[in-house]
Structures are given as C-alpha cells and as structure tokens.
C-alpha cells in the first residue's frame, strides 16, 4: 500500500463512519427480526397460562 498523503489522512479522520452505521443498521435489523420471531413465534404461541 502506498503511503497516504496528509490531506488524504485528514479526510479519513474527518469522514463520517458510513460503514459503522451500515453495520449497526444491519445489527438492528437482525435484532428486531430475532425479537419478533421469539415474541410472535414462541412466546405468544405458548398461549395464555392455564
């Protein structure tokens, strides 16, 4: 890898973390899906306490 210029380095340090947001959105989607599967598919499927 060729060394970064100071300008390029500064640009990276100041850039918004797009990849991080994308990863966290993916995590949030998986979390919500997992929760919904457990809530609707397992918890409610048990029915009321008898």
Partner 1 sequence: MNNDKAPALALANLWVAFTAFLAAALLGLYQVVERSGLFPAIESPAWYFAAVSTHGVLMGFVLTTFMVMGFGYYTATTSLAQPLWNRSLAWLSFWLALVGVLLAAYALLTGQASVLYTFYPPLRAHPIFYIGAVLLIVGSWIWCLEMIMMMITWKRSRPGQPVPLVMFGNVANALMWLWASAGVAAEVLFQLLPWSLGIIDTVDVGLARTLFAWTLHAIVYFWLFPAYIALYTLLPRAAGGRLFSDPMGRVSFIMLMVISVPIGFHHLYMDPFQETGFKLMHMFGTFMVAIPSLLTGFTIIASLEISGRLQGGTGLFGWIGALPWREPLVTAAGLGLLLLAGGGFGGIINASYAMNTLVHNTAWVPGHFHLIFGGTVALIYFGIAYHLWPKLTGRSLRSPGLVLTQLWLWAIGMIVTAVPWHWLGLLGQPRRISSTPYDTPLVAAWQPFETLMVFGALLLSLSAILLFYNLVTSQASGKSNPDTTLAYAEPVHAVLSLPRPLNGFVIWNWILLFWMIAAYGYPIVQFFLLDTYGAFPWNV
Binding site for partner 1 (CB under 8 A): 1, 4, 9, 12-15, 17-20, 22-24, 27, 30-31, 34-35, 38-39, 42-43, 46
Give the shortest CB-50-to-partner 1 separation in angstroms: 14
Give the shortest CB-7-to-partner 1 separation in angstroms: 13
Token pair of 18, please? 């797009």
Give the shortest CB-20-to-partner 1 separation in angstroms: 4
Q: To the nearest 10°, the Cα dihedral for 29, 32, 33, 38?
A: 160
Backbone conformation region of residue 15, classed left if phi is above 0, alpha if psi is from -120 to 50, else beta: beta
């Amino acid at each position: 890898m060729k060394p970064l210029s100071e300008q390029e380095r500064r640009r990276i340090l100041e850039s918004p973390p797009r990849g991080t947001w994308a990863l966290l959105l993916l995590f949030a989607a998986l979390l919500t899906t997992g929760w919904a599967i457990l809530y609707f598919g397992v918890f409610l499927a048990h029915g009321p306490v008898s």
